[in-house]
Amino acid sequence: MQPRRKAALLAVGMALSLSACSIGNTADGDGKKPYIAIISKGFQQQFWQAVKEGAEQEAEKRGVEITFEGPATETEVEAQVDMLRNSLGRDPDAVGLAALDSRAVEPLLKDAKKDDVPVIAFDSGVDSDIPLTTAATDNKAAAAAAAKHMAKALDGKGKVGMVVHSQTSGSGIDRRDGFTDWMKKNAPGIELLPVQYGAGDQTASADITKSIIASNPDINGIYGSNEGSAMGVVQGVKESGKDDIVTVGFDSGQGQINAIEEGRMRGAITQDPGKIGAQVVSAALKAIKGKKLPEVINTGYYWYDRRNINEPQIQDVLYH
């Protein structure tokens, strides 16, 4: 990744609420630019900062005004619901939403539909037919790829634990099920321990990891399903003094990159967060204009480890 882009991502990370972009020629007849309200799951991870940057760049290019906000952590469902409610109160032309809890936002999605405000889901699908499309990684396929690499590292044998960030969001469910389904189908020699949930919080995930290791001293591998979970797994393994445990993760914040380069994490799945953000804006504009959208906009994923981390296509999608 180029230094200029790294600096931009760091700058983006300092902003925790609104950002507006208003350059271009997509204004309607009265000179008003389309306004898209985007609500993410949180801001404590570099992933969301990169999604925000991608949305801002696309909005600037397309002449759209956006706001981009999210709760401080991915456990604050009510805070996100309030943000969505307030965003709808600003009369947006479209809404982008990465839902922490599909059921919690459903009443507001119904309000948006009643007011003819198109909704674009991103990162996690919403358990509702109201969003017109979902811009996201194929999380099940990506988690299956993580499982495949874990199984290969363990020669198809051993005991594996899982620390997952959510059991209510679509991404958490898919990254759990994609991993477990692949293992059950393709790696009969691997015993999966019961899934543990750490809400994507690094400290909580580290504590969970240490508990898993204490209860299973013969454990061979642990999977973390997002940035906070994965870094918690790495931290918990280190604090347990069990350097022989294979860890694989999801996302590519700077801490994970360091852990992989230093050999403390075998590898991880990286998404393309900038593309996700850009696709939210692009899809919202199409919806505003009444254009038909696909059910899903697949934004891709990559496995990275020490062997390929410096390849250009990987560097372009890391979140640092």
Q: Model confidence over 59-77: pLDDT tens digits?
A: 999 999 999 999 998 889 9
Instruction: Give 129-164 pLDDT, tens digit per residue.
Output: 999 999 999 999 999 999 999 999 999 999 999 999
CATH topology of domain 139-271: Rossmann fold (3.40.50)
Identify the sign of the CA torsion 19, 25, 30, 31. Answer: positive
The token duo for 132 is 């017109």
Give mean pLDDT in consecutive 10-residue pieces for the chain, a chain of 320 residues. 42 40 48 92 86 97 97 93 98 96 94 98 88 96 98 98 93 96 98 97 97 98 97 98 96 95 97 96 98 96 97 91
Question: What crossing angle do the helices spanning 46-62 and 273-288 adopt, rounded to 10°?
Answer: 40
Amino acid at 217: P
Specify the 3-state DSSP secondary structure of 44.
coil
The token duo for 53 is 């940057």
Q: What is the pLDDT of residue 266?
A: 98
Q: How far is CA 61 from the centre of its chain?
A: 24
Contact 24, 61 (CB under 8 A): yes
Instruction: Give this prediction's pTM.
Output: 0.82
Which of 87, 89, 91 lies closest to 40 in space, CA to CA? 87
Please state the domain extents for the chain: 3-137+272-300, 139-271
Which of 58, 42, 39, 43 lies closest to 12 in space, CA to CA? 43
Q: What is the pLDDT of residue 45?
A: 78
Are domains 3-137+272-300 and 139-271 of this chain identical in fold? Answer: yes
Q: What is the pLDDT of residue 27?
A: 56
CATH number of 3-137+272-300: 3.40.50.2300
